[in-house]
Structure 1
Amino acid sequence: MNYTFCTQTDPGRVRENNEDSVAFDAATNLGVLADGMGGYNAGEIASGMATAYIKSELARWLSEASPQANAGEVRRAIEICVDNANRSIFAASCSNRHYAGMGTTLVVGVFLDNRLLLGHVGDSRCYRWRGNTLLQITKDHSLLQEQIDAGLLTPEQAATAPNKNLVTRALGVDNVVSLELNEHRVEPGDIYLMCSDGLSDMMPDAAIAEVLQHGISLLPMVQELVTLANQNGGRDNITVLLIQASASPDKRGLMARLLGK
């Protein structure tokens, strides 16, 4: 399976600074996105630390271990890198009063041929576009989601509820973090969309699906998603990372194909 990455981040129309951070490593099929929180510039420090550390350490491990590494080993590598990033952010927040209380959400994905190992903390999301259907494949770690799960709110009521952005998990707020990590099967033609809540709060799923449905290539889709989120209010920083899967070209020679090798 081949993977193509495309990303864009924007401060939005209300905030002066951008506390989102995004990175990918095409050589190891790694993507990571974070949405920071905290006073002063602490939010952007936390998110930047998370993406820089995880990209550097996890991409290095993947490049050294691949292609022999199995899914279990990659899962463990993701967990270790996220744990180390969490401890680094927490230590920085404890040692510098300007960074006190800082934290960040996280989405991190590693594509292994036809599988995706996807981890997340907080309310930054990952969606999958397949067969003209958009599916959210992460579940927000938020107070709002807990209220939905408890039957206190419907998804429709939640869309306009106050305190939408109160997360129940984040990197850097404690010396231990609980990463939710799942495995998903990938099919050729899939598009995976990682985003901060600056996109998902400004655009309903149906509007996101419409962009993906009519898009021709990743860059115009990324640009349109950010533009529409700004047109709908742009009340937060907006970050989008799109990853498209395509079947690897058949590199076997004619005789090998005829002989079924």
Structure 2
Amino acid sequence: MGTGSQWRSAGRTHTGKVRARNEDAFLNCPEHGLWAVADGMGGHQGGDIASQMIVASLAALPLHLGFDDRVIRIRQCLHWLNRRLGQEMTVSPDRRDNIIGSTVVALLLEQRRAACVWAGDSRCYLWRGQRLYQLSRDHSLQQQLIDEQQMNVRQAKAHPGAHALTRAVGAGERLALEVLELEVLPGDAFLLCSDGLYQGMSSDALGRALNLAVPEKALQRLFDFALRGAARDNLTAVVIRQ
């Protein structure tokens, strides 16, 4: 847990019960007001490299800038990584499946301002006034089917390839990031997590965990719950509160 900051936070990652290795990574920097979760493209060579590169690159960004400039730098950093990972992919054109990519969700906090930047289906949640809000919108085929084909969640989930990502760092020539800015209120708590964590959990279960005042205790509750389930994927979460 970080000190010398108005924010308290805790992060954890776990391989889960099925996967042989962990391709998730997280950044927990309360003293810099910056957090992130990255989920390497499952089953691809180098997914763990991609997620670790994202976290290391975000951690190395300059701190002396104002809030708006820091948001710009986060976006520039992710665009640069997208190009770099794309170049890594073209090194071995004989390997068709050799995409090196990762989702990312990053949160920047300064005083009363928050910015969430993401690509893929790792999520940012806000716990405010005993209500859970999903701030990020999944960049996945499932979400696209719901938005564009007016399918309900059950129909979209049943679609083959529902979990396919429509955006990720390293997955295409151009990276389309989404950014959401909001005002922070006293008592707000944030959760960044990979799909492995939220997939088996209801909004109620997430909310009950985030209602705990200490980030480490909230994290323990989340992982206890997730690991009681199938935990087929890697699990990663970062909990942030004032």
Q: Same fold (TM over 0.5)?
A: yes
Structure 1 partner of 2:72: 76
Moved more, 172-181 or 14-23: 172-181
Structure 1 partner of 2:190: 192
TM-score (norm 1): 0.84
CA 74–158 in structure 1, closer or farther in 2 if over 3 Å, else same: same
**How many equivalent pairs are there?**
236
2:139 partner amino acid: H
Counterpart contact for 1:49–1:89, Cα < 8 Å: no
SS of 2:40's partner is strand
1:242 partner amino acid: V
Give the distance between the partners of 2:202 and 2:42, measured in 1 at CA. 27
Give the distance between the partners of 1:40 and 1:143, measured in 2 at CA. 19
Structure 2 partner of 1:181: 179
Give the distance between the partners of 2:237 and 2:108, measured in 1 at CA. 17
1:153-202, Cα deviation, whole Å (9 max, x unpaired): 21354456553421100101223211111211111111100000001111
How many angstroms does 1:39 deviate by?
Answer: 4.3
Structure 2 partner of 1:248: none
Percent identity over paired residues: 33
CA 39–93 in structure 1, closer or farther in 2 if over 3 Å, else same: farther
Counterpart contact for 1:21–1:47, Cα < 8 Å: yes
Moved more, 89-98 or 29-38: 89-98
Structure 2 partner of 1:201: 199
Aligned with 1:26 (options 10, 26, 30): 30
1:204 partner amino acid: S
How many angstroms does 1:42 deviate by?
Answer: 1.3
Structure 1: gaps spanning 5 or more residues: 246-261
Counterpart contact for 2:71–2:108, Cα < 8 Å: no
1:214-241, Cα deviation, whole Å (9 max, x unpaired): x241112102211211211101000000
Give the distance between the partners of 1:212 and 1:127, measured in 2 at CA. 10
Give the distance between the partners of 1:128 and 1:50, measured in 2 at CA. 23
1:9 aligns with 2:13: yes
Which structure has the bigger radius of gyration?
1
Describe how 1:154-233 pairs up with structure 2 within 5 A.
154-158=152-156, 162-213=160-211, 215-233=212-230
1:37 aligns with 2:49: no
SS of 1:104's partner is coil
Describe how 1:54-69 pairs up with structure 2 within 5 A.
54-56=58-60, 58=61, 61-62=62-63, 64-65=64-65, 69=66
1:51 partner amino acid: V
1:129 partner amino acid: W
How many angstroms does 1:117 deviate by?
Answer: 1.1
1:112-167, Cα deviation, whole Å (9 max, x unpaired): 21111110000000000011000000000111001111253213544565534211
Give the distance between the partners of 1:103 and 1:188, measured in 2 at CA. 36
2:235 partner amino acid: I
How many angstroms does 1:101 deviate by?
Answer: 1.1
How many angstroms does 1:38 deviate by?
Answer: 5.1
How many angstroms does 1:5 deviate by?
Answer: 1.5
SS of 2:136's partner is coil
Give the distance between the partners of 1:79 and 1:145, measured in 2 at CA. 23
2:150 partner amino acid: L
TM-score (norm 2): 0.90
Counterpart contact for 1:38–1:101, Cα < 8 Å: no
Give the distance between the partners of 1:95 and 1:140, measured in 2 at CA. 30
1:81 partner amino acid: C
